[in-house]
Chain A
Amino acid sequence: MRRRFLSVLVILMMAFLAACGGGNSNTNNTPPSSAGNNPSANTDGANNSGVEQIELRMAWWGGQERHDRTLKVIELYEKENPHIKIIPEYSGFDGYFDKLTTQFAAGNAPDIIQYGGNLNDFVARGVVLPLDDYVGEIIDLSKHSQSMIDAATIDGKFYGVTLGTNAFGLILNKTLFEEAGIPLPSKDWTWDDFREITKQLSDQLNGIYGTAVWTEDGFGIFLDQRNKVVHINGEIAFDEEDVRDYFQLWKELQDIGAAANAELQASAAQTPEQSLIVQRKVAMELIASNQFGAYQNATEDELMLFIAPINPETGRNGISLRPSQFLAGYAGTEHPEEVAKFLNFFVNNIDAGLILGNDRGAPVNTDVLKALIEDANEIDQEVFSFIDWVAETSDAPYVPNLPGYNETTALFRRTMEAIAFERMAPEQGAADYYKQLLEITAKYTEE
């Protein structure tokens, strides 16, 4: 008897396991192509008062500050448009896109969605609302710089408003430079200077490294300095030796103790509060400029934004102005026009712009930017002057993420880790990386 009972229990447990494993995939049996026709449950709020009540759902990721600011803008919009109710769905970055993907599959994605550099991955799958019909009449792009419009234009169609202008930049811990007694680098420093300064910092500061390792974002900069780009429309546009040189550069910096060692680098968390520079483990780190405020607010030390060292052969610093994030509509939304109106308000309304500040990067609308600069605090000033610096010193083109971003990024990080932990020589790592990268991108471009 007892044995039979055990068998039944075990079988039940296994049935449960299979359901867990497979069940995730089964949020909905309807192919997404028909998803747009499903009336979404939350738009049934029409009442009898004449004006149709419309509910829109909006999803974004970010930290607490961004949530507060965004919620305030939503409030403002609802006040000006009483027939609109916006239901916020916000979270941290972890799991944001996982959840979104599930919602797309189920045909109940939010109407308004924040994307990052992976917008192209979603456009390719047909879930992003093309906005061309609304540009001009509803969405005013006349005050936006062309490069930011281009960034959201994929295969000739316009898909989203850019939430901010951004640039990668080095964040320097000025306080640590002072403690080490090392002068700040000059504005036209080279990689040799970089190597020397980071080494000196490591030597002078006990247990602190000169710099954190630059990961994949840094590779884009490195390539631009060689007059190359990562890819053109999904076709890899660099050579194996480029990535080999990059891996070698960082392995060397780690070997001489200038850059964070393998263990420390692997422990680096993604949040500003847990980052190596805020934890006083390194004196420099590569970040996106809109995050500067979050880093500075997390530490007592004085931080500053600085340009990347230049490649003396080409004289380029490789830093490009880039869109921080996009706000876009869901292809299956019931109210595309209302979505477009809100997108317009979010980036073009000056009050909204003042509330949002620099949190998603410098506003793309020049009027909003002007208003914000007049209003800016010290931290925002630092970011704006850095953006200016980039605009003056660099003509690097904006290169969107590789297709299959999640997969290719994971591959890059894993390879760099394997090299850092000496499981692979940089040559071997580069060969492996390059081969697998071509396989992955082929998978995404063949469709």
Chain B
Amino acid sequence: MLKRYRGAWIGYLFLTPWLIGFFGLILGPMIYSLYLSFTDYSLLEAPKWIGLKNFETMFQDRNYIDSVKVTLTFVLWAVPLELIAALAVALLLNKGIRGIGIYRTMYYIPSLLGGSVAIALLWKNIFGVDGLINQVLAYFGIAGKGWVSHPDYALYTLIILSTWQFGSAMVIFLAGLKQIPSELYEAAEVDGANRFQKFWRITMPLLSPVLFFNLIMKIINSMQVFTSSYIVSEGTGGPINSTLFYTLYLYLKGFSHFEMGYASAMAWLLLIFLAILTGILFLTSKYWVYYEDGGRS
């Protein structure tokens, strides 16, 4: 028994850089932020313990409620749209056409650039009152809107921006598609299956673990969306809170309103919500995610 562990310290030695990083930069700050979430902490003065007051205030804070609504709306639209786009393009690119590498790269580029400040700025200009979109619309005699400055449209413009960055999900779908054995399709064809049957009976079940992975990743990512709104609304979440994402409000609370305790409480509530949501998705997964090995690990 002891023999087995004798050389273990060498392993830990190799792990130290990561362990230091994990304890110093992740676990330590996390525990401290948990403490802060029960305090009134203005950043410039020592934290004051106030128990659960931050959490109580949250549910009376109209801006907080707005930010939850905005974020949930965003997730409900952006996640399905992005997954559908990613899957559709992955299916297209899974065929052997000439120059396929170029197409793959081209579709992937937006997701490399998409989270960046430059793209958000570009987006702001394209969808601005005088932007490209409105100029094109004007050419057809349609009066444009302030796509990012009207509370009815601003959020949806950001949803389109995020959908456009489907590249990373697409690459994972592509990898999943490559894993599906072609014999299955050949056998299905012999049995006279049409395209839809092949898609729903072979592709989807075999792709479901990848879809599940993408779904969870996208939900987690979308809950934390920040840059696009920060840039497009100039950090206000406006007009009238219509793009006040959860993390943007968290940031405003912490750094602009000097309420870091409140901001920490928001972060923890988001973490707990995501943990529960992910847990529920894992529970449902046995009804719709199909593992070739029967889910045994």
Residues in A lying within 8 Å of B, measured CB to CB: 1-4, 6-7, 9-10, 13-26, 29, 31-33, 94-95, 97-98, 101-102, 104-105, 122, 125-127, 262-264, 266-267, 269-270, 279, 281, 404, 406-407, 410, 413-414, 417-418, 421, 423
Cβ–Cβ < 8 Å partners of A406 in chain B: 252, 256-257
CB contact under 8 A between A417 and B234, given known A6-B213, A22-B34: no
Q: Is the CB of A3 within 8 A of B209?
A: yes
Interface size class of B (residues with CB under 8 A): 35 or more
Of residues 184 to 224 in B, which have CB atoms within 8 Å of A's CB atoms? 209, 212-213, 216-217, 220, 224
Contact yes or no, B257 A22, CB < 8 A: no
The answer to the question of B250 belonging to the interface, with a C-beta cut-off of 8 Å to chain A, is: yes
Neighbouring B residues of A13 by C-beta, 8 Å: 217, 220
A6-B30 contact in complex given A32-B44, A126-B45, A421-B239, C-beta closer than 8 Å: no
Task: Give every chain A residue within 8 A of B42 (Cβ-Cβ).
Answer: 125
A125 / chain B contacts, CB cutoff of 8 Å: 42, 44-45, 258
Give the most central of B41, B151, B235: most A CB within 10 Å.
Answer: B151
A9: B residues at CB distance < 8 A: 213
- B164 interface residue, CB < 8 Å from A? no
Q: Roughly how many angstroms separate A13 CA and B28 CA in the complex, as a whole number?
A: 17
- Among the stretches B1-9, B107-115, B141-149, the one at the interface with A is B141-149
Identify which of residues 258-279 in chain B touch chain A, using a CB-to-CB cut-off of 8 Å.
258, 260, 263-264, 266-268, 270-271, 274-275, 278
- Whole-angstrom CA separation of A423 from B238 in the bound complex: 14
30 contacts between A and B (CB under 8 A): A1-B293, A2-B291, A7-B282, A9-B213, A18-B30, A19-B26, A19-B29, A21-B266, A21-B267, A22-B29, A22-B33, A22-B267, A23-B26, A24-B251, A26-B29, A29-B32, A32-B43, A101-B44, A102-B255, A104-B43, A105-B43, A262-B150, A263-B129, A266-B146, A279-B130, A406-B256, A407-B257, A410-B252, A421-B151, A421-B239
How close is B285's CB to chain A, nearest CB, in angstroms?
8
Determine the distance from Cα of A116 to Cα of B130 in the docked complex, in whole angstroms: 32
Residues of B within 8 A of A98 (CB): 255-256
Interface pair B220/A263, CB less than 8 Å apart = no
- Determine the residue in chain B with the shortest Cβ distance to A24: B254
Partner among B25, B238, B271 whose Cβ is within 8 Å of the Cβ of A417: B238
Known contacts: A17-B274, A267-B128, A406-B257. The answer to whether A25 contacts B268 by CB under 8 A is: no
Q: Which residues of A contact B220 (CB under 8 A)?
A: 10, 13-14, 17
Are A263's CB and B145's CB within 8 A? Answer: yes
Contacts of A421 in B (CB 8 A): 150-151, 239-240
Chain B 150-185, CB-CB to A under 8 Å as 1, else 0, gives 110000000000000000000000000000000000
- Please pick, from B44, B128, B212, B247, the residue contacting A6 in the complex, using a CB distance under 8 A: B212
Residue of B nearest to A26 (CB): B29
| Contact in complex: B128, A23 (CB < 8 Å) | no
B247 to A: closest C-beta gap in Å: 7
Alpha-carbon gap, A22 to B262, bound state (A): 11
CB–CB A22/B44 < 8 A: no
Q: Which residues of A contact B150 (CB under 8 A)?
A: 262-263, 266, 421
How many pairs, one residue from A and one from B, have CB atoms within 8 Å of each other in the complex? Answer: 174
A residues less than 8 Å from B37 (CB atoms): 22
A269 vs B168: C-alpha distance when bound (angstroms): 33
User: A residues within 8 A CB of B212?
Assistant: 6
A18:B267 contact, CB within 8 angstroms = yes
Taking the closest CB of chain A, its distance from the CB of B158, in whole angstroms, is 15
Looking at the assembled complex, report how far the CB atom of B25 sits from the nearest CB atom of chain A, in whole angstroms: 7
Q: In the bound complex, do residue B30 and residue A94 qualify as a contact, i.e. CB atoms below 8 Å apart?
A: no
Q: Which residues of B contact A101 (CB under 8 A)?
A: 43-44, 255, 258
How distant is A109 from chain B, measured CB to nearest CB, in Å? 10
A16-B26, A22-B33 known; A414 vs B267 contact (CB < 8 Å): no
Report how far A21 CA is from B274 CA in the complex, Å.
Answer: 13
Interchain CB contact under 8 A, A25 and B41: yes
- The CA of A127 and the CA of B258, in the complex, are separated in Å by 14
In the A-B complex, the 9 residue pairs with the closest CB atoms: A22-B33, A21-B267, A263-B146, A267-B149, A31-B46, A266-B149, A125-B44, A98-B255, A266-B239
**List of A residues within 8 angstroms of B282 by Cβ:** 7
